């Protein structure tokens, strides 16, 4: 068994991204408690099970919301005896207590059920109760050299209702690669595990674009199309326009009574945004209040989880607190008191100019709907290593936007490795690195372009219309209960 620092070293030696989170004090050893402490659900936990077979011990990595089909596993392994290891055997083979097994450094054959790969990030054991390791399944695969198998099924029933997720975008511009790695990719995966509602937040977009309704209007179907092009599936998820659900506005008004003036002003997310946008004294009241309307977006659909980046977490806390307060004051249980954020691996993409964040207002984006020529032209202007003047100067790969993009989007890992090695030696010019990047980006965008062609704007409009109608039924149901609880059901 490896110590936590040995695990860290092992992971770093594979140069993968990972995060070690400290488990809060008082959290028990069960998987469920562990995941709950981080606001995660079972599909984001990845257990390492040790089996004894007639050919010796093997490990299987499987999601915590799935169970192993032993017969199938035996078939796949081509063996005839298979059983779970007893606690003593576990200790002997790997030095672990049950439930604490870490796949890092295990010296037996390792398999991974393919459902693990559906997640953007999973939590795996570290051998103890102090740390929680967050890693992408692909990186986990790399580190463990596991073989992918298809031997599990998702547990349904036994009280495991599919949680409902609410996610959304403000329609203020075409989505770009930063949105893709930061949220859209994750969203598309989540639709397989959850009931997913996707909200086009036009009313929220107006809170700081009230004088530019044309812009908001023009981008409503644009962001919907961007999401569809990335794989959001209208058969699986519900896409809706915020302004077409008047129940959200009604609920916002009632929610405003349940939050203090000071609480809204204190909200760290809004505070930061007010500064970023340089509103100064002229910040619209509607903008300051948008967390309350966002709480209504979430609660009107009685959502259970909201995928967000860490900076948005206070928003979701506020939504939960308002829902809980409503339940308490009006003596009902309409809203989920356990409403929580769903964190993926925090993935932020630098801009083409090397700025910490890709963002439309900074003009440093590569958009999901850029054509091949535009991508080429944008890549040509990208920042690289500023201290490198000639192709023969040794260059820096770390923190270099061009290589950051290569790592994210170039599926030809050998090519990337080769470029990096030559770059640090001063044996490759920026031109070649950029040409290869433009090709890789276009290859990455090609399937997105192909799917976009399947969703012309009139079809997008139909999809959003049907989704909005479906979502509105849920919102109406909620409002009927809400009005009864507040005694305004005349």
Positions touching ligand TRP (CB under 6 A) are 166-170, 199, 201, 204, 294, 297-298, 306
Distance CA 160, CA 63 (A): 15
> What count of Cα atoms within 13 Å lies in the side-chain half-sphere of residue 15?
4
Q: Residue 199 or 220: which CB sits closer to ligand TRP?
A: 199
Specify the 3-state DSSP secondary structure of 257: coil
Minimum gap (Å) between residue 405 Cβ and ligand TRP = 23
Tokens standing for 268?
Answer: 């760290």
In sequence order, what are the residues at sequence separation of 6 or more whose Cβ sits closer than 8 angstroms to the Cβ of residue 457? 221, 225
| Contact call for residues 416 and 407 (beta carbons, < 8 A) | yes
Lookup result for tokens 């070293």: 9
Tokens standing for 281?
Answer: 């004294």
Minimum gap (Å) between residue 341 Cβ and ligand TRP = 10
Minimum gap (Å) between residue 307 Cβ and ligand TRP = 8
Q: Residue 167 or 252: which CB sits closer to ligand TRP?
A: 167
- In 64-142, DSSP assigns E strands to 66-68, 82-84, 110-113, 122-124, 131-135
| Contact call for residues 112 and 58 (beta carbons, < 8 A) | no
Q: Residue 181 or 199: which CB sits closer to ligand TRP?
A: 199
Minimum gap (Å) between residue 443 Cβ and ligand TRP = 28
Name beta bridge partners: 461: none
Q: Residue 172 or 400: which CB sits closer to ligand TRP?
A: 172
Tokens standing for 198?
Answer: 């996707």
Q: Residue 255 or 423: which CB sits closer to ligand TRP?
A: 255
Distance CA 170, CA 196 (A): 17
Minimum gap (Å) between residue 269 Cβ and ligand TRP = 9
Q: Residue 169 or 336: which CB sits closer to ligand TRP?
A: 169
Distance CA 252, CA 267 (A): 17
Q: Residue 137 or 178: which CB sits closer to ligand TRP?
A: 178
Please write down the long-range contacts of 69-78, taking CB distance under 8 Å and 24 or more positions apart.
Answer: 69/151, 69/152, 69/153, 72/150, 72/151, 73/149, 73/151, 76/111, 76/149, 76/150, 76/151, 77/53, 77/111
Q: Residue 100 or 199: which CB sits closer to ligand TRP?
A: 199
Minimum gap (Å) between residue 31 Cβ and ligand TRP = 27
Minimum gap (Å) between residue 278 Cβ and ligand TRP = 18
Minimum gap (Å) between residue 308 Cβ and ligand TRP = 7
């Amino acid at each position: 068994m490896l110590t936590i620092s040995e695990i860290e070293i092992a992971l770093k030696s594979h140069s993968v991204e990972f995060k070690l989170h400290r488990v809060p004090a008082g959290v028990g050893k069960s998987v469920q408690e562990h995941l709950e402490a981080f606001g995660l659900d079972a599909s984001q936990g990845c257990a390492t099970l040790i089996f004894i077979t007639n050919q010796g011990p093997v490990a299987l990595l499987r999601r915590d919301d799935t169970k192993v089909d032993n017969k199938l596993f035996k078939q796949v392994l081509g063996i005839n005896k298979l059983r779970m290891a007893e606690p003593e055997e576990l200790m002997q083979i790997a030095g672990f207590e049950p439930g604490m097994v870490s796949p890092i450094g295990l010296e037996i054959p390792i398999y991974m059920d393919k459902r693990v790969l559906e997640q953007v990030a999973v939590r795996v054991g570290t051998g103890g109760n102090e740390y929680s390791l967050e890693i992408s399944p692909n990186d986990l695969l790399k580190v463990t050299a596991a073989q992918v198998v298809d031997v599990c099924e998702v547990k349904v029933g036994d009280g495991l209702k599919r949680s409902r997720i609410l996610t959304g975008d403000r329609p203020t511009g075409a989505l770009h690669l930063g949105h893709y790695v930061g949220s859209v990719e994750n969203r598309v995966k989540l639709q397989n595990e959850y009931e997913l509602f996707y909200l086009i937040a036009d009313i929220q977009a107006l809170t700081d674009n009230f004088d530019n309704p044309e812009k908001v209007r023009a981008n409503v179907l644009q962001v919907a199309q961007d999401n569809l092009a990335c794989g959001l599936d209208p058969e699986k998820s519900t896409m809706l326009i915020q302004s077409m659900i008047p129940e959200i506005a009604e609920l916002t008004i009632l929610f405003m009574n349940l939050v203090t003036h000071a609480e809204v002003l204190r909200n760290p997310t809004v505070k930061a945004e007010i500064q970023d946008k340089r509103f100064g004294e002229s910040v619209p009241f509607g903008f300051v209040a948008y967390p309350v309307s966002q709480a209504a977006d979430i609660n009107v659909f009685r959502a259970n989880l909201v995928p967000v980046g860490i900076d948005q977490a206070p928003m979701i806390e506020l939504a939960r607190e308002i829902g809980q307060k409503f339940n308490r004051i009006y003596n009902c249980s309409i809203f989920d008191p356990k409403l929580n954020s769903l964190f993926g691996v925090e993935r932020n993409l630098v801009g083409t100019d090397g700025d910490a964040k890709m963002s439309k207002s900074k003009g440093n984006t590569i958009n999901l709907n850029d054509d091949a020529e535009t991508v080429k032209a944008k890549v040509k202007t990208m920042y690289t290593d500023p201290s490198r003047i000639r192709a023969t100067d040794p260059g820096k790969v770390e923190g270099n936007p061009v290589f950051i993009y290569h790592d994210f989007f170039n599926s030809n890992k050998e090519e990337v490795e080769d470029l990096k090695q030559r770059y640090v030696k001063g044996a490759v010019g920026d031109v070649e690195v950029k040409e290869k990047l433009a090709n890789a980006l276009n290859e990455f965008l090609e399937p997105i372009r192909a799917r976009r062609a399947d969703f012309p704007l009139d079809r997008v409009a139909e999809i959003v219309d049907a989704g909005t109608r479906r979502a509105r039924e849920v919102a109406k149901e909620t409002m009927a209960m809400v009005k009864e609880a507040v005694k305004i059901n005349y």
